[in-house]
Chain A
Amino acid sequence: MKVKVQLFATLSLYLPRGVENRTATLDLPEGASVAEAFRVLRLPDDLPKLILLNGINVKEDARLKEGDVLSVFPPIAGG
């Protein structure tokens, strides 16, 4: 199944090269979790993240389905 993952701010460093609009399309096994998507992108476990699945707040154990859009925001500190 294909899901889209949008990574914001500091997390965009973990996007595969060449993707557009800060969005990676991942091909994952049916029923894969958010955490599994993060592993594919090699997002560090210990980096705090705000996760939206199709615009709704979820945790890393949420299950994904075909066509889902994940948006992931990190804390940023600049001022």
Chain B
Amino acid sequence: MSAIPFSEDQIRRYSRHIILPEVGGKGQRKLLSSGALIIGAGGLGSPAALYLAAAGVGRIGIVDFDVVDLSNLQRQILHHVRDVGRPKVTSAAETIADINPDVKVVPYQVQLSSENVKDILAGYDVIVNGCDNFPTRYLVNDACIFLNKPLVDGSIFRFEGQATVFIPGKGCYRCLFPSPPPPGLVPSCQEAGVLGVLCGVIGSIQGLEAVKILLGIGESLAGRLLFVDALTMEFRQVKVRRDPNCPVCGDHPTITDLIDYHEFCGIPATAHIS
């Protein structure tokens, strides 16, 4: 392979990667020629995007239809005070440009749907899901199965977070949770709150897993679901496996097309037991 030589700046910038035998110049080149898609420029997408950009992942797509709100700044570290009211993808692109001009940011200021998800995902080597709702989680999971893309999943709720990796053929989100919870049963983050720093833990784990996948090193979280409890600082791992009866990646799939679930949020329908 006739590789484009690193510039002097690049050698200096990536020196701490290049001296790692597991990365080296070859691995760094791999990162520079890779593409990662980050879904959601929010709590999880922020640290993931920042670290992937700093690592020199050459092309970073960012999907987010929203604009920056002051209440985002408690955890969404891609954005700054001056960005309030501006599209998150614009703010993200500027922040990344300030960190690493090697990175080409591709902004998608759209709501993902069955209409556009395949086209957007198609051009990337790894998908990092930091979205904030179930419909998008299921949509992205199914699209990754159909397109054979590795998916780094992360989610947070109050003081707890989850992270895992799905490699097509080795299980997916629906193997764990076959269908979304019914509307109204699960509170959204907006209603439930979230400890901002926790986003840094889970989003950074997602960034780490994405880099490992791009480099082809180590053992990913595939086959394991990691649970983090920030209040007790307990990390639990649950072994997970492909379900042969999975509706989308099982032996006889019943879901063969993308589904647009309706957005839902609300408070639990059942009250406390007193």
Residue positions of A touching B, CB distance < 8 A: 8-10, 13-17, 41-42, 44, 46-48, 50, 52, 57, 71, 73-79
Does B246 belong to the interface (CB within 8 Å)?
Answer: no
Please judge, given known A-B contacts A16-B273, A52-B238, A57-B239, whether A76 and B160 are in contact too, CB under 8 Å: yes
Is B133 a contact of A77 with CB atoms below 8 Å? yes
Given A8-B227, A78-B43, A50 and B238 contact (CB-CB distance below 8 Å): yes
Which secondary structure characterizes the binding site on chain A? loop
Provide 22 A-B residue pairs closer than 8 Å at the C-beta atoms, listed in order of the A residue: A9-B160, A13-B272, A14-B273, A15-B273, A17-B273, A44-B269, A46-B185, A48-B180, A50-B240, A74-B181, A75-B137, A76-B155, A76-B156, A76-B160, A76-B161, A77-B186, A78-B155, A78-B192, A79-B45, A79-B130, A79-B154, A79-B155
Complex CA gap A27/B170 in Å reads: 38
Determine how close the nearest CB of chain B comes to the CB of A65; give it in whole angstroms.
21
Chain A, Cβ-Cβ closest to B229: A8
Indicate the member of B43, B134, B154, B273 with the most A CB atoms within 10 Å: B273
Query: How many pairs of A and B residues are in contact by the CB < 8 Å rule?
Result: 105
Tell me whether A9 and B157 are in contact in the complex, defined as CB-CB below 8 angstroms, given that A79-B42, A79-B45 are known contacts.
Answer: yes
A21 to chain B, nearest CB (A): 8
